[in-house]
Chain A
Amino acid sequence: EAQVTQNPRYLITVTGKKLTVTCSQNMNHEYMSWYRQDPGLGLRQIYYSMNVEVTDKGDVPEGYKVSRKEKRNFPLILESPSPNQTSLYFCASSLTAADTQYFGPGTRLTVL
């Protein structure tokens, strides 16, 4: 089944404790992206990747890192999480940058 998966789905952590949210797609998609969703703000892009080893900042990149060492994986790294990073995170992918993006199931992160 073609899908975008994220792990974990739920995470509660404390300020400053490094964490990684994984994203994987099995569709051989080139383009991948991370969004965060906050009440009243819709979804905003954090980082995106056009292909392996090609990543760039989106609208709200502060406090986040990403890597794209393999085509299927695009992990989101929070080196030192803070409470303002409490949010619902979505990974999305598309065959190419110009194709329709499909979303993973979301990761609910709470930073205490």
Chain B
Amino acid sequence: AQTVTQSQPEMSVQEAETVTLSCTYDTSESDYYLFWYKQPPSRQMILVIRQEAYKQQNATENRFSVNFQKAAKSFSLKISDSQLGDAAMYFCAYRRGSGGSNYKLTFGKGTLLTVNP
């Protein structure tokens, strides 16, 4: 079974600084996707970024980028120029890419990010 591990229960960053959230995963599959979701105090689950395993290039969305190390099964999220609105719980998630019938998301336990003014 696939597992996702977020080893940092809490992180903090100063406004305008850069922070990196860690995520490792375990899978025997070669075709899969990785995601970072953000959950602000409103509790809404918001997709931040997505990475296809077959793509070597790291995904980027504005101030958010990932460092995808397939061999090491590592998928970290870097937030540049942190803003107060980035404060949230961040979840790393895994999903198989093909085959089978269930494409469930397997989530890590989350990292609570605090942004200090």
**How far, in whole Å, are A33 and B20 apart by their CA atoms in the complex?**
30
Please provide the chain B residues from 86 to 107 with a CB less than 8 Å away from any CB of chain A in the complex.
91, 93, 95, 97-98, 101-105, 107
Q: Determine if B45 is an interface residue (Cβ-Cβ < 8 Å).
A: yes
Contact A42 B104 (CB under 8 A): no
Q: Determine if A100 is an interface residue (Cβ-Cβ < 8 Å).
A: yes
Contact A45 B105 (CB under 8 A): yes
- Give the residues in chain B near A106, CB-CB below 8 Å: 43-45
Contact B105 A101 (CB under 8 A): yes
Q: Assign chain B's interface to a size class.
A: 20 to 34
Given A40-B109, A42-B107, A50-B101, A100:B50 Cβ within 8 A:
yes
Contact B43 A98 (CB under 8 A): no
Contact B47 A98 (CB under 8 A): no
**How far, in whole Å, are A80 and B21 apart by their CA atoms in the complex?**
40
Contact A43 B43 (CB under 8 A): no
Given A40-B109, A42-B109, A100-B50, A88:B43 Cβ within 8 A:
yes
Chain B, residue nearest A43 (CB): B107
Distance of A76 from chain B, by nearest CB (Å): 15
Please provide the chain B residues from 34 to 65 with a CB less than 8 Å away from any CB of chain A in the complex.
35, 37, 42-47, 50
**How far, in whole Å, are A35 and B50 apart by their CA atoms in the complex?**
19
Contact A31 B109 (CB under 8 A): no
Contact A59 B44 (CB under 8 A): no
Contact B44 A58 (CB under 8 A): no
Please provide the chain A residues from 87 to 112 with a CB less than 8 Å away from any CB of chain B in the complex.
88, 90, 92, 94, 97-98, 100-103, 105-106, 108
Q: Which 7 A-B residue pairings sit nearest by Cβ, starting from the closest?
A: A42-B107, A103-B45, A97-B103, A45-B104, A43-B107, A42-B109, A106-B43
Q: Using CB atoms and an 8 Å cutoff, list the residues of chain B in contact with chain A.
A: 4, 35, 37, 42-47, 50, 91, 93, 95, 97-98, 101-105, 107-110
6 contacts between A and B (CB under 8 A): A43-B91, A43-B93, A48-B104, A98-B98, A106-B43, A106-B45
